[in-house]
Amino acid sequence: MLGSDLMEILKRNEKYNLIPTDVDTLDITNIEELKETSNEKKPDIVINVAAYTDVDGCETNRELAYNVNAIGPKNLAISCNEIGAKLVHISTDYVFHGENTVPYTEEDETDPINYYGETKLVAEQFIQKNMNSYLTN
Ligand SMILES: NC(=O)c1ccc[n+]([C@@H]2O[C@H](COP(=O)([O-])OP(=O)(O)OC[C@H]3O[C@@H](n4cnc5c(N)ncnc54)[C@H](OP(=O)(O)O)[C@@H]3O)[C@@H](O)[C@H]2O)c1
């Protein structure tokens, strides 16, 4: 969903050399494949819109959810860090408990509401741990 929308917007600007991928061409759970592609293509910026987003499915397919939503971003962080690429990663409001009456901020305490949120939170932590620098916003 987000990946297709982003492509529509980014391709309007000729200065971007876009390299779109999907699970068939680049599986983010496969670190060797990621390293090979990042070393070959040497992207300046990697935008990760890949995820296992079936919230109910995450409860029953926990291994798959963890692999795609947590290990995948960890692999991306390692491979981006190695070549000095910036990684843009999208998390989710499910990392919070959902009881706030005002919008959440990056500084709010996390407390995942479900397993999908748990895996997305672990991804945030993996990225912070495996990249030399990061911004949260
Ligand atoms: N949509 C929302 O309301 C929302 C809200 C908050 C945050 N987000 C976050 O925004 C990001 C994009 O979400 P979205 O709604 O665009 O999700 P989406 O439509 O479900 O797209 C996710 C894509 O990731 C692909 N994918 C799954 N496993 C993969 C793997 N191992 N390697 C590479 N690609 C893989 C999926 O391919 P298949 O379809 O072939 O499995 C799918 O094309 C996610 O990080 C999500 O957590 C979304």
SS3 of the chain: the string is CHHHHHHHHHCCCCCCCCCCCCCCCCCCCCHHHHHHHHHHHCCCEEEECCCCCCHHHHHHCHHHHHHHHHHHHHHHHHHHHHHCCEEEECCCHHHCCCCCCCCCCCCCCCCCCCHHHHHHHHHHHHHHHHCCCCCCC
Average pLDDT over residues 71-100: 96
* Residue 16 belongs to some domain of the structure: no
Q: How do residues 51-75 score in pLDDT, each as one tens digit? A: 999 999 999 999 999 999 999 999 9
Lowest mean pLDDT among 34-38, 65-69, 133-137: 133-137
Residues in Cβ contact with 115 at an 8 Å cutoff, skipping those fewer than 6 apart: 58, 59, 62, 65
Which of 52, 66, 94, 116 is labelled catalytic?
Answer: 116
**Does ligand 1 have an atom closer than 6 angstroms to the CB of 28?**
yes
**Does ligand 1 have an atom closer than 6 angstroms to the CB of 52?**
yes
Residue nearest to atom 23 of ligand 1 (CA): 50
* Residue 62 belongs to some domain of the structure: yes
Average pLDDT over residues 40-51: 97
* Residue 24 belongs to some domain of the structure: no
Average pLDDT over residues 6-20: 96
Residues linked to residue 87 through DSSP beta bridges, in sequence order: 46
Range of the domain at 70: 32-130
* Residue 13 belongs to some domain of the structure: no
* Residue 68 belongs to some domain of the structure: yes
* Residue 60 belongs to some domain of the structure: yes
* Residue 106 belongs to some domain of the structure: yes
Average pLDDT over residues 39-44: 97
Domain count, the chain: 1
User: What does the pLDDT read at residue 136?
Assistant: 83
Known catalytic residue: 116?
Answer: yes
Evaluate if residue 137 carries a pLDDT over 90.
no
* Residue 135 belongs to some domain of the structure: no
Lowest mean pLDDT among 13-17, 25-29, 67-71, 133-137: 133-137
CA torsion angle for 72, 77, 82, 87 (degrees, to 10)?
120
CA distance 61 to 132: 32
The CATH number of whichever domain residue 77 belongs to comes to 3.40.50.720
